[in-house]
Structure 1
Amino acid sequence: MKKTAQEIWQEYEYALQYNDTIGLESRVEKNENFFLGKQWEGVNAPDLDKPVFNILKRVVNYFIAMLVSDNIGVGLSLFNRKSDGVNRVILTAVEEQVRQVMEYSGFHSAMRGILRDAAVDGDGVLHVFFNADAKTGRAGEKGLIEIESIDNTDIFFGNPQLAGVQRQPYILIESRRSVEDVKEEMRRNRAPKAEIEKIQSDCPRNDALASEYTYGDKVSVLTKYWREGDHIRFCKVTRNAVVQKETDSGLERYPICYMSWERVKNCYHGMGVIDGLIPNQMAINKMAALAQRFIRQQAFPRIFFNKNKLDKWVEGVKPLAVQGNPSDIIYADTHAVNMSGQVGEYIDRFIGNTKELMGASDAALGNVNPENTSAIIAVQKATAMPLELVKQAYYQFVEDFVRICIDQMRAYYGKRTVLTTSEAGEQEEIPLDFSMLGDMVLSLNVDIGASAYWSEMSNIQTLDNLYEKGLLEPVTYLESIPAHLVPNKAKIESDARRRMEMQEAAGGEEVKEDAMPQMQTMRNAGDGTKGAADGGR
């Protein structure tokens, strides 16, 4: 494995050459311009108006909103193993920690940017890392998991023909950092002074035409991850200096989450939703520009007058003095020429067809007025169909993030006091050694599911109907309702279970709330008598 600064930089240059062969950077720049509305870049037509009908941005934002509007629930369980009491407590505590990581790191907010990058540029990339200096709010405990989004032009796989992250021989990440920041990190790493002095500003991507203002006091830093044995190792280098020496991260998974909007065979870079529709967008803009030019030139009448008789034409009712017969001042006006109605129809049809191809028709947009739950569900399914494959990739992305978080908890958290929820529904603090996750990660099953509003409402309505018909017990009914819809659900569930047990002990009669303490006393007394009788045998 290549580990010196020069060797790693050579790998980086080879990766840049590969990206050039597939035209990645030029394609990303073009897609970004079209998404942002800069759709006439490079067109040399100073006398032509340049209107923009940006249908791509509207549809992409709709897709992103559809994907991130779903609530993502993360549940942990042991694969092909029965969870005993101890494992259940651990899994519940880890679930709470994963939710805290998502909240602290702003994962849900970051996912909007990730999906936007995937839709426009083709790929969404998230780098998960452990900040050892972050405060946890408890004395003696430091370190939290954080995230950062990475452009797909700044990450390079060791095998570019292979899309799987965890199967890569190595991964390079490029970042532009200030020179002083890099030097300070090297001082913390106790690098030799001569090595620190090698850090100087450089041009981004070896661009000789880049001005000093473009790169300022920035330097390109490459972080290399590679697998060696069961662990992931990493180092940081510049072109000619080592920022951080080879280090064993203790991780078993690459800390990279990666998703493509549309997979491309034999390539780790995907295609965005707007890649193949840019020609359509250009045609719409050109047709609108020509229509606007026609209206400006032909839709308004023009006045022609005899310049030999009159020096200039003055608008308004002010009288003009002329020499000779005023009738000799000859003028004429041209009538407005109507533009063919086919132009507007063509533009509307072109826009409609393009939206249809993107999967954003009126039916998919949900522009209907459903009158019942069945119609709402039908509209929801119709809306989600074009995004189903992307949604699965999105769920896999979140699952990868959860697995990476658990891997980093195992490697870095150590022994901590965590807040969890007991079976009685009460919050309690328990000590937890996260290193024990090492034996559980391999058999861990992460379940991710969307809980859209109307699906939940229809499910609850079904539960209500079953309960009213006597087909569900109260405890089963409560267990089936999503927890976030019932405040303090665990406590209510526990009370209902206790009430049902007391009712059974009372011979099936209804037990009132004020009779519960008495029933519990009677039951305890009965158990004690039974125990004494058993002991006398």
Structure 2
Amino acid sequence: MNSYNDKTEDWRLYEAGKQYNNRLEPNYYDTVDANYEFFHGNQWRNVKAENIPKPTFNIIKRITQFLVASLTSSKIKLHFEPLPFFQQPTEDGQISGADIANAQTSSLFEKFKMDFKIKEALFDAAITGDSCAHFYFDVTKKPYGSLSEVRGEIGFELVDGSNVFFGNANNSNVDSQPYIIVSGRDMVRNLREQAKRYNQKESEVNSITNDYNYQEQTSDSGKIEVDADEYGKALYIIVYRKKKVKRVKKDEQGNEMLDESSNPVTEEVETIVASKSVENAYIFKDVDTGLSHYPVAWLNWEKQKNQYHGRALCTGILPNQIFINRMFAMVMYHLQMTAFPKTVYNADVIASWSNEIGQAIAVRGMGANENIKNIAGYLEPGNMSNRIESVIDLAMQYTKETLGISDAALGNVDPKNTSAIIAVQKSTAIPLENPKSNLYEWIEDIGKILLDFMGTYYGIRPVSVDQNGGKVVVEYDFSQFKDLFLDIRADVGESSYWSEIASIQTLDNLLNNGHIDIIEYLDRTPDEYIPQKEELISSIKERMQQATQPASPEQLIAMLPTDEQQAFMNASPEQQQEILAQLQMQMQQSQAPAPM
């Protein structure tokens, strides 16, 4: 163990964060480990009773899976819109910055496998109370392969809540933190190579050695590693801080601004600097990231007052789970002890007793008038109270109901009265409103971070955008995002199957009664219901536009029967003009929309 003076300044902040977690009641690390083990079914890990059954009826896992599935039953999408007072007028067909942000964010979500990541983050939050999205920029990646020389891509990883430390632990707001620490474990070889890329001294590089600082890693499995030569791991920390620096101002074209003496004009801006270190050596220090926001999005399952850690779903169910397991264990033990009655016999008359089937038992010294039933018999086992089973059932039932898991939510109902089902589903979903709001806030924070990353690192690069029902590729200078003001919103579809059906039925009725046209109908229909919806809308608009154009004389004549075409050719010019006018009027009347 290194002495206090050998440790880096950042490492002391990390140890202060661990000390804070250990001071929480109950102990934060013990709570997280217990929650994970209970979720995975290892619910008797600290019980050393060898002679009793250890049943596991894992209601924690069932409840957590259901609630996470309920929160993610609809696809979540980020949407960027210009703020009304910052919106610049655009010409028809011109692609705006908001369009670029929407297209690029959608592409990144596909690369991140965001639907799966959201589920994984919610499981972490439900089990431990917290989940963290950590972003970085990987300069070695080529996002377009050999098609372009553009380098660099935004990276994304989920970090356990136990590996994130806030400078102000009594506040869960990320932007207000004086610093944020993200810890992890990596191969010593990788950490040394990274230190060399940042031109660290040889003594600093050699100071990076394998360690066994994994006691605070999440779950019991995080504390077991491969112990092999050249594959050792070391604990590292990344410290993000806010710092004010001076930068040269640039004009709208990106050129440096100069004063009257041709000196660069500077301005003081707040930026995020990053330092990465192990216990006694820096890998890099105070690197200016150029970012305006911390690259960390923090998610709580349920926020707690004056604490950045959230309260986990599993924490509140643990006592119920322990009670259910214990009661079942005692019932099983009682059955084992009393299922087969014990034999009692007179040893003065019978020397030994055999339980073998069909085995004869010799009896000596028995008088002729004695009853054989007085020689041997069976003890009556004590009866178990019938209330035990009902109490176990009530414990399971009340646990589910207090968490909003009813028969209507599970779909165990006859769907005859859909209005009643919708009302019951909405009432049972009330306990999920707080986690749902936290999830949407987390997604919007991710959008803010992605916008910051693109504006800082992307530069000029191609991007694919939807336009007029098709895909177009444009070159865009993403540095404009640094001065672009956009409103970020998490768009979420209906989570209820019945709500979707009701919405579609309403649209059908509006269309059938002539209150909306086909274009308005398609615009409001969810994308998953109609494949290639944008292409279909574009095709219908094109046909409608062609239909509104006046037909040529040749087209009008072709509409006439053969004999009438011959009569038209033999008619005078004045008669031909009159016939064409009548045909044109008939065509317009046939294309006119029906009255509403």
Q: TM-score by structure 1 length?
A: 0.86
Residue 271 of structure 1 is matched in structure 2 by: 311
Shift of 1:116: 0.8
2:406 partner letter? S
2:23 partner letter? T
2:8 to 6, 9, 13: 6
1:189 partner letter? Y
Conserved in 2, the CA contact under 8 Å of 1:5 and 1:242? no
In 2, the alpha carbon distance for the partners of 1:236 and 1:497 equals 56
1:217 partner letter? G
Conserved in 2, the CA contact under 8 Å of 1:118 and 1:261? yes
Conserved in 2, the CA contact under 8 Å of 1:310 and 1:329? no
Q: Say whether 1:359 aligns with 2:401.
A: no
C-alpha root-mean-square deviation of aligned residues, in Å? 2.8
Shift of 1:354: 1.6
1:74 partner letter? L
Conserved in 2, the CA contact under 8 Å of 1:421 and 1:427? yes
In 1, the alpha carbon distance for the partners of 2:391 and 2:278 equals 54
Structure 1: tracts of 5 or more residues without a match: 516-537
Residue 124 of structure 1 is matched in structure 2 by: 131
User: Where has structure 1 moved over 6 Å in runs of 4 or more?
Assistant: 210-216
Deviations 1:308-364 (A, max 9, x none): 532341411134566666969932112344322111011111111122222223233
Residue 525 of structure 1 is matched in structure 2 by: none
In 2, the alpha carbon distance for the partners of 1:431 and 1:328 equals 101
Change beyond 3 A, Cα 1:206–1:6: farther
1:318 to 359, 362, 368: 359
Change beyond 3 A, Cα 1:347–1:447: closer
Residue 333 of structure 2 is matched in structure 1 by: 293
- Secondary structure of residue in 1 paired with 2:449: helix
2:515 to 450, 466, 471: 471
After superposition, where does 1:222-371 map in structure 2 within 5 Å?
A: 222-229=237-244, 230-308=270-348, 309-319=350-360, 330-371=375-416
Structure 2: tracts of 5 or more residues without a match: 1-5, 217-222, 245-269, 560-596
In 1, the alpha carbon distance for the partners of 2:309 and 2:373 equals 75
In 2, the alpha carbon distance for the partners of 1:41 and 1:95 equals 48
Q: Which deviates further from its counterpart, 383-392 or 370-379?
A: 370-379
Q: Say whether 1:177 aligns with 2:186.
A: yes
Q: Say whether 1:140 aligns with 2:183.
A: no
Percent identity for Structure 1 against Structure 2: 33
In 2, the alpha carbon distance for the partners of 1:349 and 1:483 equals 43
Deviations 1:36-68 (A, max 9, x none): 222223223222222222211110111111112
In 1, the alpha carbon distance for the partners of 2:289 and 2:320 equals 48
Q: Which deviates further from its counterpart, 277-286 or 329-338?
A: 329-338
Larger Rg: 2
Q: TM-score by structure 2 length?
A: 0.78
1:435 to 462, 469, 479: 479
2:508 partner letter? D
2:131 partner letter? G
Conserved in 2, the CA contact under 8 Å of 1:299 and 1:338? no
1:313 partner letter? S
Residue 455 of structure 1 is matched in structure 2 by: 499
Deviations 1:273-328 (A, max 9, x none): 12123222222222212212222222321112344532341411134566666969
Conserved in 2, the CA contact under 8 Å of 1:176 and 1:219? yes
1:201 partner letter? N
Deviations 1:83-127 (A, max 9, x none): 624774443333222122112122221222211111111111111
- Secondary structure of residue in 1 paired with 2:152: strand
Q: Say whether 1:444 aligns with 2:487.
A: yes
After superposition, where does 1:154-193 map in structure 2 within 5 Å?
A: 154-193=163-202
In 2, the alpha carbon distance for the partners of 1:107 and 1:270 equals 22
Q: Say whether 1:84 aligns with 2:90.
A: yes
1:490 to 534, 557, 560: 534
